[in-house]
Amino acid sequence: MISQKSHADLRVLRAGARAAPWALLAVLGLGACQRQAPPAAAPALVLALPVHSYLGSGNGGIRYPVEAAARYSNPLSFRVAGKLIERNLRLGDLAHQGQILARLDPLDAEKQAASARAALDAAEHRLAYARQQLDRDQTQFAQNLIAANQLEQTQDAYAAALAGREESAAQLVVARNTLQYNTLFADHDGVITSEDADTGQVVAAGQAVYGLAWSGDTDVYLDAAAGDMGRIAIGQSASVTFAALPGQRFAAKVREVAPAADPQSRSYRVKLTLIQPAAGVRFGMTGEALLSSTAAGDQATAGDQATAATFNIPATAIFHRGSEPAVWVIRGNDSTLELRPVTVRSYGERSALVTQGLRDSDRIVLAGVHTVFAGEHVTPVKPLFTGEDENDADAAAVADAGRGAGGAGAAP
């Protein structure tokens, strides 16, 4: 028989066994409450810039980088060899037509000119003597005092003296020109664009000493792709802007189109002339030209001339949601991403022209568009180079690095 005390102990053990799991769960729950929540992910770094519209470019204009240059320029050099002893102008100085720019050591040229002058004097004396002798022999021959062959010899001596005098005169002219060639004059008004020789240097004939850009008309050069040559014609209007002159636009016209491509770049050089160049436009400035879609001589309708706000953005900023193009826009209030559908009018080699979907000053993601998602909190980073789209590959690499540091999300 089991005693009453044993029954009581058995009931206590059974109650403890039933309560043990609940006690374990309570302890685990208490430990979980003491754990800290994981830190929030840092905002992702993305390359972004505000976009700005171009009024009047919605008619299909062509956009190219350009460089300002003088219409005419040439190297300045001496026509003879010698030692450079004097330079009067420096880089960037203005030159006036007829101004003395540099000199060579004239000692040898002066000696040659003096020698040529002495030779001419001697030739003139010989000529004078030969003329007097010819006059005497002609008089004596008329009186039959000398033979005919003696007169002929006198005539031959006179002819030789006359030729010698002409030769000496020509040599003197050459010597004087050589002496003058030791001084370098400016052929036209202009600005010195390069210094190619130093004082004390011995230069060869024809070796460049200065580079001179002529004053007058200012041209801008661009290199057009072969695919755009059908849309560019002489007389076509254009609008030019320079990075160094913000807020200013200059009207221009196409002056010259190269008939053949450059053998290295396979592009075609196009020269535009600024209609009213400003004093602030300096040679070598870089900028952008927008050529109108209507070439000279074409008849454009009023609808073709309608202006529209167009955005020129890098091609790496376009994200395709299905078959529809879109752009990641950073909201200004909370720096989160919004995928906004856009209308792309045309695609270039490295850029795209967007006509609808963007507003002026919208900040868009320039690269890495397939590594972000809608609503993601980001930190915009300005690219190192913002003038042209030629650094899109570098921008994408930097964006990918930033995505790795900040924690990239999957594309939608």
CATH code for the domain of 97: 2.40.50.100
- Is residue 358 exposed (0-12), middle (13-18) or buried (19+ Cβ within 10 Å)? buried
Residues 335 and 351 in one domain: yes
pLDDT at 14: 58
Residues 201 and 316 in one domain: no
pLDDT at 345: 80
Measure CA 324 to chain center: 35
295 by DSSP, 3-state: which? coil
Residues 189 and 271 in one domain: no
**What is the CATH number for 124?**
1.10.287
Helices (H), ranges, 143-256:
148-181
List the pLDDT tens digit at each of the 412 positions of the chain: 445 545 555 464 455 555 555 555 554 554 545 556 566 667 888 888 888 776 444 445 788 999 998 888 899 999 999 999 999 999 989 999 999 999 999 999 999 999 999 999 999 999 999 999 999 999 999 999 989 999 999 999 999 999 999 999 999 999 999 999 999 999 999 899 899 999 999 999 999 999 999 888 888 999 998 888 888 999 999 999 998 888 888 999 999 999 999 999 899 999 999 988 677 888 888 999 998 865 444 433 334 433 456 788 888 999 988 889 999 999 988 889 999 999 888 787 788 888 888 988 899 999 888 888 888 888 888 876 554 443 443 334 333 433 333 333 333 3
Of residues 370, 389, 215, the one with CA closest to residue 315: 389
Residue 38 located in a structural domain? no
Residue 241 located in a structural domain? yes
Name the domain boundary from 243, 261, 291. Answer: 291
Cα–Cα separations (whole angstroms), residue 172 to 108, 119, 127, 177, 183? 14, 8, 17, 9, 18
- Is 364 in contact with 329 (CB distance < 8 Å)? yes
pLDDT at 399: 39
pLDDT at 360: 83
Residues 319 and 391 in one domain: yes
Which domain, by its residues, includes 199? 79-104+183-213
pLDDT at 120: 95
Residues 234 and 334 in one domain: no
Residue 159 located in a structural domain? yes
CA geometry: angle 101, 104, 107, nearest 5 deg: 140
